[in-house]
A and B are shown apart, each in its own frame.
Chain A
C-alpha cells in the first residue's frame, strides 16, 4: 500500500509538468500579455520592453517556464498585472469555492444516492421512471439555463435564497449556488446508483442477508449499498476536481468571488499569472482527488489489492 502511494505520487510528476507546461504555453505564447495590459492604446516601446524584462517575457519559452516553476516551488505564483499577488487572490478565492464544492458534493451524495436507491429498488415502476426522466431533463439543461432559472424562481420571485452572494460567501448564501453547481452531477450520481443497486439487488449475498433474517433497512444499507457504492464513489471523487474548476458559470451567475470568478477575470483580461497559477493548483487538486479515489477503492472493496 505504502509503495503504491509512492509510485502514484511519482507518476503525478510527469502529468503535473506536462499539464502545467501546456497551460503555460497556451497563455504566454499564444497571446501577448503586455499588449493586453495597455488595452486599446499602443504601448510605448521602451516601457513595453521594460515590462517584458521585469516579467521575464524576453527569455525563450522553456526558460520562462523553468523560471516560473522555480518560483512556484518557493510559494510565489507571481503578481497579477493589477499589482495584487496571485497567492493573495488564491487565499481569498479558494476557501469560497471549497465551501461551494462541499455543498455541491454533500447534495450529490445525500439527494443523488437516496434517489438512486429508491428508484433502483423499484426498477421499472412509477418512481423509477419519473426519476429517470427527471434526471435526463436535468442532464440536458445547461448550467447557465438552470442557474438563471433557479436564481429567478428561488432568489427573486419567492425570495427564499439570496440571488447574489456577498463577498464573505457564508454557507447559507451558498446553498442555492451549490444546488445549481451540483445539479448535473447529481443526476449522474442518481443514475449511477440506480443502475448499481438494480444490478446488485438480485445478488446471492443479498439473498443470504435476507435468509439471515436481517431487517430490510440493514440488508439495504449494510449489504446492498456497500457493494453498490463503489462506482458512485469513483464518480464523486473525480467530480471534486471538476466542480472546483468548473464553477465558472455558477460563480458568474451568483457573483461569487471564487476560483471560477478569478479565472474568468484572468482570462478576460489576459492576466496570465492568475490563469496559470489557478490552473496549476486545480491540476494538483484533480490529481490528488484521483489518488484518493483509488485508495478509497481498497477500503470499499477488500478484493482490490495494491502492489
Chain B
C-alpha cells in the first residue's frame, strides 16, 4: 500500500502491485490454502512491513512474488503480481529469471544456511555479475570486494576468498545484503532478516538495510513477526492472518490504535514501556490449519469480539480511515474500544 492514493486503480506510483494473490500447496492432508487473496502495493523508496505469525502466509506470498515457490507442491492459483506495471505471472520463465536477482532481490533469514557452504563468499557475490551482466571473472571479483566494503565488512580484500562459516552471524547477513544489492534492484524483499542474529547486531543490520534503501530509493518489503523491528523502519504495515491481510495501516496509526482485534492482540502481547506493570495478554488458541480454515472470518474462533456474523460472512477489507483498512466486521468498535 502506498501512502498516497491507495485507491487509485493502477496508480502510476506503485513499484510492486500484488492483486488478489492466491497460493495453494498440495499436501498429503489435503490442499493447504497458504495465501488467500493477498493484495499490497509498494512504492519506490517505501518500506512495507508484512507482519504475522509463522504459517500466516507472509513468506509464501514473498516467494510467489519472487517466483521461487517450491513447486510442486506449491502453486499460484490466482491473482496478479504487477512489477513496474507488468504482470510477472504471465512472463515466460526465462524473462522472469532475468528480473529475479537483478531487479528484485531477496534477503533470507538464516544466512548460514542460505549461503552456499562450499563456495567462497566472493564467488557467490561475483556470480551475480557474471550471470546477469556477463562480466569477466576478474572484474566480477573486484566488484564483489567493492560490495563487501559497501556493507561494512572489514578487510574485504583479504576476506573475499573466505567461506560463509568463517564469518560471524552479523557479517554473514551483511554479505546476504550485499548479494541482494549487487545489481541495484528496485525492490528488496527481506524475509526475517534479523531473526537469527543477536539483539545488538540486529539493530546494526537493520540500520544498514534502512540506510541503503534510503540511498538507493528502493522499495523494501520487510517480512517479520517482530513488532519492535517494524516500528523504526516501516512506513506501512500489513498484518497477515491465515493467508489473508487483516489490517493495513501507516505504521504509527496502527501502533496508536489497531483496527483489527488480531492486531490488538499482537500489540498487547508485547511488553511496552508506557504500560509498565500491566499483565501481558496472549491471544488464546492457535492459528487455524491451512487445510481447514474456518468459514467466515478465519480469526473468529480466537476473537473476543466474535458475533454470529463472523462465523458465516468473511469480512471484506473495510476502509478504516486515511490509508488504512481492516478486515473486521467490527472495525469501528475495535477502533473505539482501543481508544
Binding site for A on B (CB under 8 A): 66, 68, 70, 97-102, 105-106, 108, 110, 113-120, 127-128, 131-132, 163, 165, 179
Contact string against B for A residues 196-237, beta-carbon threshold 8 Å, 1 for contact and 0 otherwise: 000000111101111111110010001100110000000000
Which has the most chain A C-beta neighbours within 10 Å: B98, B101, B105?
B101
Cβ contact within 8 Å between B68 and A210: yes
Residue among B102, B116, B128 making CB contact with A205, cutoff 8 Å: B116
**Is B116 a contact of A227 with CB atoms below 8 Å?**
yes
Could you give 23 example pairs across A and B, Cβ below 8 Å?
A204-B114, A205-B113, A205-B115, A205-B117, A207-B68, A207-B114, A211-B106, A212-B100, A212-B101, A213-B100, A213-B101, A214-B97, A214-B127, A214-B131, A226-B116, A300-B118, A301-B117, A302-B118, A302-B120, A302-B165, A303-B117, A303-B118, A303-B165
Expressed in whole angstroms, the minimum distance between the Cβ of A90 and any Cβ of chain B is: 39
Q: How far is the CB of A133 from chain B (nearest CB, A)?
A: 22
For the complex, would chain A's binding face be called helix, strand, loop or mixed by DSSP majority?
helix
The residue from B98, B100, B118 contacting A211, defined by CB atoms under 8 A apart: B100
Q: Is the CB of A202 within 8 A of B70?
A: yes
B296 to nearest A CB, angstroms? 35
A205 to B179, CA, bound (A): 13
Knowing that A212-B131, A212-B179, A302-B165 touch, tell me 12 more A-B residue pairs with CB under 8 angstroms.
Answer: A207-B108, A208-B179, A210-B68, A210-B100, A211-B66, A211-B100, A211-B101, A212-B101, A214-B101, A226-B118, A226-B119, A227-B117
CA distance A213 to B91 in the complex (A): 14
> CA of A205 to CA of B108 in the docked complex: distance in angstroms?
10
Q: Which residues of B contact A215 (CB under 8 A)?
A: 97, 131
Which residues from A are CB-within-8-Å of B179?
208, 212
Considering the complex, give the chain B residue whose CB is closest to the CB of A223. B116
By the criterion CB–CB under 8 Å, are B127 and A213 in contact?
no
Cα A178 to Cα B214 in complex, Å, equals: 63
CA distance A49 to B120 in the complex (A): 69
Whether B110 and A204, one on each chain, are in contact in the complex, defined by CB atoms closer than 8 angstroms, is: yes
Instruction: Select the residue from A204, A207, A211, A226 with max chain B CB neighbours within 10 A.
Output: A211
Q: B163 is contacted by which of A205, A213, A218, A302 (Cβ under 8 Å)?
A: A302
Partner of B118, one of A208, A212, A301: A301
Cβ contacts under 8 Å, A227 to chain B: 116-118
**Is A203 within 8 A of B113, CB to CB?**
yes
